[in-house]
Amino acid sequence: MLADAATSEPSAAPSAAPAAGATPGARVRGVLGRWEALLIGLLVITFVVGQGLSTEFLTADSFTTGSLDLSEVAIMALALALVIVAAEIDLSIASVLALSSAVMADLWNRGLPLELIMPICLVVGGLCGAFNGVLVTRLGLPSLAVTIGTLALFRGLAFVVIGDESVTDFPVSWTDRAFGNFAGTFVPNTMVLFAGLAVGFGVLLHFTPFGRSVFAIGANEEASYFSGLRVKRIKLILFVMAGIVAALAGIIISLRNSTAAANVGQGFELTAVTAVLLGGVSIFGGRGTIVGVILALLLLGGIQKALLLSESISSYWIQIVTGALLVGSVLGPNLARRVSETRRRRSSQSQHPEEGHP
């Protein structure tokens, strides 16, 4: 990413420092000072304010509708988080989603059964991801530029495949599955799928050697390369995974709305990036957790739902609040670090006045 040595890695130190042999007090502060704790705090505030705005906010029904609306972005954000931890970015995911939806529509029109179409869509998504990955790893092109290009390319191909038609006659058994709730609860099926994927990606990122190498690559690609990690192959795998997951999201959105078309999910890539960054994943790579991303998604969904339900506040505030949160999520820790640095410098100056910098 737009790595800038001078401004990179602002708050890696605070989260790493209290881990080893600290006093209980420091350990508690370390946990509470973490980004996830802040997100939980914001979530609580959102719940309180949301309930104040509308009594319908803290209901099962509002969770069902609110989480359904965010299903695709949520699923794509999981795989995107891994890509960003590795210090790359994929802006083409929403276009892969559209291409998957378009392929689905086209093959359905040709009379293929859905059970066969869906794996084909996933393969298409995987190929899209591989295309991104090969351009980034083998040709050494910056992923930001590549995926802005494939954002247009894949969306364009989606239109080439299906034009401006749409397909709406998917079998009810499948659309019900995508729209319905899990086994009589208020939790949508898509959220159960999301939970499964979240556990999968969480384990992959945090508890496997593969995940550790993703962090290592994000923190210092060159060092990872020289310590024997297969940097290019790992990055390629990450892009392929992002593509497959985006294609899965394309299948879900088509079935959920019972409409497959090339124009679905415009702008989803930015929402997904927002969720990942708000979740505490560093845009420079090397830092972040899946838990943070899940909390950020809950927060975004909560804010959206609260403002939609509210009658006194215009729902246009959603965008403003989202933007402010995103900027604040990086600005806040930066300012806190600066304040503590100034304080430390001042105290060290008062101890050793002769060493003080002018």
Partner 1 sequence: MSTSAVGPPAPAPVEGARARRLTEWVFRIRELGIVVALGLLILVTAILEPRFIEADSLRNLALNASIFAILAAGQTLVIVTRNVDLSVGSVLGLSAYFAGDLLSSNPGLPLPVVFLLGMGLGAVCGLFNGILVTWGQVPALVVTLGTLYAFRGLAFLWTDGSQVNAETLPDAFLDLGTDSILGVPYLVLIALVVVLAVGQWLRDFRSGRELYAIGSNPDGARLAGVRSDRRVLTAFVAAGALAGLGGVLFTARFGTVDATAGVGYELTVIAAAVVGGVAIFGGTGSVYGAALGALLLGCITSSLIVLRVEAFWQQAAIGALLLIAVALDRFLGLRIDTALRRRSARRAG
Interface residues with partner 1 (CB under 8 A) are: 1-2, 4-7, 10, 135, 139-142, 144-146, 148-157, 159-160, 163-164, 262, 266-267, 270, 273-274, 277, 283-284, 314, 316-327, 329-331, 334-335
Burial classification of residue 74, based on how many CB atoms lie within 10 Å of its CB (0-12 exposed, 13-18 middle, 19 or more buried): buried
Longest Cα separation, the chain? 83
Nearest-approach distance from CB 146 to partner 1, in angstroms: 7
The residue among 60 and 160 lying less far from partner 1, judged by its C-beta, is: 160
- Cβ nearer to partner 1, comparing 98 with 178: 98
* Residue nearer to partner 1 on the CB measure, 58 or 144: 144
Q: Where are the beta strands (DSSP E) in 197-272?
A: 260-261
- Which letter, b or e, does each residue of 235-262 get, where b requires 16 or more Cβ atoms within 10 Å of its Cβ? bbbbbbbbbbbbbbbbbbbbbbbbbbbb
Give the nearer residue to partner 1 in terms of CB position, either 75 or 102: 102
228 sits in which H/E element: none
Task: For the CB of residue 339, give the shortest distance to partner 1 in the complex, in Å.
Answer: 13
Give me the residues paired with residue 181 across strands. Answer: 188
Six-digit token pair at 5?
A: 């040595």
Q: How far is the CB of 260 from partner 1 (least distance, A)?
A: 16
With beta carbons less than 8 A apart as the criterion, state whether 308 and 317 touch: no
Nearer residue to partner 1 within complex by CB, 211 or 302: 302
- Collapsed DSSP state (helix, strand, coil) of residue 183: coil
Nearer to partner 1, 104 or 252 (CB): 104
CA distance 178 to 176: 5
Residue 306 contacts residue 331 (beta carbons within 8 Å): no
Q: Least separation, in Å, of the C-beta of 71 and partner 1?
A: 20
Residue 80 structure tokens: 């995107």
